[in-house]
Amino acid sequence: MVRRIIIAAVVIIFNCHVSIVNRINAQGMMGIYTQFSTECLGVEEDGTQTLRAWGSGKNKNDAEDQARKNAVRDVIFKGIRDGVEGCNMKPLVNEPNAREKYEEYFNKFFRDDAKYDDYVSNKDTKRKMKKIEKTDMGVRVAVIVRVNRPKLKERLRKDGIIK
């Protein structure tokens, strides 16, 4: 009888601990995603999207490169949901698990010296528009970039990723 009570108490304590840890993690992750998501600032007549994107890195240049990649990645896989109306909310690639299915293609596409950079520019970035925050791991940067969605869509079609 005592043994059952002890086992029940251990199970209850463990479940409470797991529940509290999960709640803390969920709240922490929600803060990251809502605060640092890519947001639309406008759409040009040619279909390019002006976006504010965040990136993290060991220094400012790494963080800026990551922010540019994040902007292109979000246009391809997530669509742009935050910011002003007018940005196309639909992702270019809406096939489930496309990132994994075309992993080799996208690994090459997003390399530091690779093709993604042909579809994003800093044309709208001004020095005072950048936001730089120091973190324990380096820096986090917000940059204003312009993603050429029509050209990117054309490239993904040509390469057989979308129809």
**Is there a single domain that holds both residue 84 and residue 8?**
no
| Residues in contact with 92: Cβ distance below 8 Å, sequence separation at least 6, in sequence order | 75, 76, 77, 149, 152, 153, 156, 162
Residue 152 scores a pLDDT above 70 = yes
**Is there a single domain that holds both residue 84 and residue 119?**
yes
**Is there a single domain that holds both residue 50 and residue 18?**
no
SS3 154: helix
119-136 average pLDDT score: 67
pLDDT at 114: 74
Q: How many domains does the chain have?
A: 2
The pTM (predicted TM-score) of the whole model is 0.72
**Is there a single domain that holds both residue 29 and residue 44?**
no
Residue 140 one-letter amino acid: R
**Is there a single domain that holds both residue 102 and residue 82?**
yes
**Is there a single domain that holds both residue 19 and residue 42?**
no
**Is there a single domain that holds both residue 42 and residue 26?**
no
116-135 average pLDDT score: 70
Residue 144 scores a pLDDT above 60 = yes
Query: Does residue 163 lie in a domain region?
Result: no
pLDDT digit string (tens) for 55-78? 999 998 899 999 999 999 999 999
Report d(CA 113, CA 81) in Å as an integer. 28
Which domain range does residue 123 map to?
A: 38-158
**Is there a single domain that holds both residue 150 and residue 87?**
yes
Query: Does residue 71 lie in a domain region?
Result: yes
Structure-model confidence comparison of residues 20 and 125, the more confident one: 125
pLDDT digit string (tens) for 35-47? 578 999 999 889 8
